[in-house]
Amino acid sequence: MVLAPSLGSGPRGPLDREMRRRDFQRLCALAAAAVGLPAKVAEQFAEAAVAGQKPSVIWLHFQECTGCTESLLRTSHPALDELILDLISLDYHETLLVPSGHLAEECRQRAMEAHAGKFVLVVEGAIPTKDGGIYCKIGGHTAIEMLEETAAKAGAIIAIGSCASWGGIPSADPNPTGAKGAHEILAGKTVVNLPGCPANPYILLGTVLQYATLGTLPELDEKARPKFGYGQTIHEHCPRRAHFDAGRFALAYGDAGHREGWCLYKLGCKGPATHASCSTLHFGEVVGAWPIGLGHPCFGCTEQRLAFRVPLHDTVDIERPTPPDTYPPIHAPQGEVGAVATGLAGLAGGAAIGAAWMAAKKLGGGEGAPPADGE
Ligand code: SF4
């Protein structure tokens, strides 16, 4: 694929190359550990990638804001965008592709033919179905046509973000374009759903890595979400959970409880009914960079029945009310996740996220990455 110049690789000195190698190994270790794969698999994957054996990825954009792509490529970690592009062969991606018009279309056709039955199709955005799908056309083809044609030759299909998973914002009432998720168009095919607004990049990389190295997909829940990333509710590992169980709630933005980092349930937090890993795997590799960490209630973006449907300040039922045996430290800086919480995530979810940070550190990382205050 021909990428935009800012994503290309320039000349590098020995020190730069060594740092890059270590960052690359670290990225592989994190992605592998996110899906519970051993560090050995991450090493194999890194070696295969260096040898040029990278999984081909065709990435389609439909009705969306490109937030999932931005989240993947705009982390605060230096050059993570280049590392990701070293990990996978991104053969078609409308945001990053330099060619346009029929040349861009040729890229997609060539990638489909060259890697038929093996490439990973990533779908970002909802698919409009009303009026023959005319509300999203690319190169003269409707989103439905592009999706069906590409999916027919894909080895694995991943819907990234809430829009591609179940319609997301475009499907909010009154859903004027008849927006739907990819799995509704591709009935009979396995579509891995990675909902989130945006989805966490490590969950995508872990899923792609497992498919590329083992030829399998992660275990999925009843909504086709990988259990390693969506097996727990936000509430189970929230750093404000001790306040919830003690009955300490913020009642208004800026009140004393809000400033003290108390529980946001009464402001409409959907964390008790939202399955996601945000409380242990923050965004952009910035500690505390997730809604509750920033003092805003979770709005349930991974749940079709909540996000963009239930009003922001309405409360939800408590799905799993039993308090945990151990809490994150309640006096930790607002929004940060304690070492205990990270450890619990690894134990309870099987995601081994806590172990991931340790594996990454052993491989030479260590600065500026783990979204946990215990590192
Ligand atoms: Fe955290 Fe929300 Fe649960 Fe309160 S209700 S503990 S803020 S997830």
Looking at the predicted structure, is the pLDDT value of residue 51 above 80?
Answer: no
Residue closest to 369 by CA, chosen among 9, 34, 18, 92: 34
The answer to whether 25 and 363 have CB atoms below 8 angstroms apart is yes
Tell me, what's the pLDDT at 200? 86
In single-letter form, the type of residue at position 296 comes to: H
Q: Is the CB of 238 under 6 A from ligand 1?
A: yes
Strands (E), 145-295: 156-160, 179-180, 191-194
CATH of 232-329, one of 3.40.50.720, 3.40.50.300, 4.10.480.10, 3.40.50.150: 4.10.480.10
The SS3 call for residue 154 is coil
Which stretch of 127-141, 313-327, 331-345 has the lowest confidence by average pLDDT?
331-345
Atom 3 (ligand 1) nearest CA: 235
User: Alpha-carbon distance 152 to 119, whole Å?
Assistant: 11
Give pTM, 2 decimals. 0.80
Q: Is the CB of 264 under 6 A from ligand 1?
A: yes
Mean of the pLDDT values across residues 269-298?
A: 89
Render pLDDT for 168-202 as a digit per residue (tens, 0 to 9).
999 999 999 999 999 999 999 999 999 999 998 88
DSSP of 109-134: HHHHHHTTTTPEEEEESBEE-GGGGT
Cα of 159 vs centre of ligand 1, distance in Å, is: 27
3-state helix, strand, coil in the chain (%, to 5): 40, 10, 50
Instruction: Considering the domain delimited by 5-230, tell me its CATH architecture.
Output: 3-Layer(aba) Sandwich (3.40)
295 confidence band (pLDDT: 50, 70, 90): very high
Choice from 233, 236, 249, 265 to test ligand 1 binding pocket (greatest atom count within 8 A of CB) = 265
14 confidence band (pLDDT: 50, 70, 90): low
45 Cβ neighbours under 8 A, 6+ residues apart: 28, 32, 87, 209, 212, 213
Residue closest to 121 by CA, chosen among 85, 88, 96: 88
In single-letter form, the type of residue at position 194 comes to: L
Cα of 33 vs centre of ligand 1, distance in Å, is: 26
Tell me, what's the pLDDT at 244? 95
Q: Average per-residue pLDDT in the chain?
A: 80
Tell me, what's the pLDDT at 327? 62
Cα of 224 vs centre of ligand 1, distance in Å, is: 25
Domains of the chain, by residue range, sit at 5-230, 232-329
The H or E element that residue 60 is part of is strand 56-61
The SS3 call for residue 335 is coil
- The Cα diameter of the chain in Å comes to 61
Mean of the pLDDT values across residues 152-180?
A: 97
Tell me, what's the pLDDT at 95? 87
304 confidence band (pLDDT: 50, 70, 90): very high
